[in-house]
Structure 1
């Protein structure tokens, strides 16, 4: 079995610079808690979105286990729109209600899901029977989970914390178990 630990990034203050937005002070404190969560776990490899907040969230895990962080662009958060949206909550709800809808310059749920799932499948194939940490984001994480089980939807996404950690167990490409392992 392959175990994937999706680690949703810790808190960061919003800026328009998606790639370089760092963790906030609260985010760094939570990162330390996440690192402790993984101290006694066997971790074989660490992947991450290239966004700084995602990388920073899993840095402690990688250091603790003496591993490099492999950043992969296709694991980045979904692009909602190239422009500013008037109401983020309404916009995000719309793309979840209509999976093939995309705002100008953005990705639909289906496009973002396909991008990320292709990468996740390659990771699982490359690491059979390994324990893998993936530094990720809320929307793209839930879209990957939804690929395997439709119960992971907008309402599930709304309940996520920042950070959050989910353990997914796979038998080849079949999802056999999901557990939340983060305690707020």
Structure 2
């Protein structure tokens, strides 16, 4: 029995230091409507999301369309890079991708974040086998999850993601059998 996980990287957000409550920008809200339209063609059975507002806002149209509540899964939240602001985000993110065990002060290494995201993914695959699920999430954690199942998904791939972006990962049990990009500009 095939299970489809539609990982949805959130749309563009308006920056605030409040990670949990950062909302989508006006452009992000427009793109979220397109996400809803694209996912309406995919026979989505249920919607899950990171608890972060921008991820929820990106998939809430799909949730409304199928008349279902969004199931919040804390472990689909974005990786914590550092508890302190980093002076050079690009250099800081590159460092954690170059050394999967390295973590900035109070942050998660790629290895730690990936383990968290993969465990959440495996639980979802077990609990909702045979379903089509939209999962509102974030770019870094999404690619770390994808990389666990297929090593071609790496730092360069992450750098090329759109905001939003949608990738359908098809599983037979817990074995990845296919990946297809659903989003296109």
> TM-score, normalized by length of structure 2?
0.98
Q: Which runs of 5+ in 2 are unaligned?
A: none
Match of 2:179, SS state, is strand
User: What is the CA deviation profile of residues 9-68 of structure 1, one whole-angstrom value per residue up to 9, with x for unaligned ones?
Assistant: 000022110000000000000001111112232111111000000000000000001111
> Is 2:10 the partner of 1:9?
yes
Q: SS of the counterpart of 2:101? A: coil
Q: What secondary structure is seen at the aligned counterpart in 2 of 1:134?
A: strand
Does 2:44 align with 1:43?
A: yes
**How many aligned positions are there?**
184
Question: Are 1:57 and 2:65 matched, yes or no?
Answer: no
Matches within 5 A, 1:114-153: 114-153=115-154
Residue 92 (structure 1) aligned with residue 93 (structure 2): yes
Cα RMSD (Å): 0.6
**Is 2:156 the partner of 1:155?**
yes
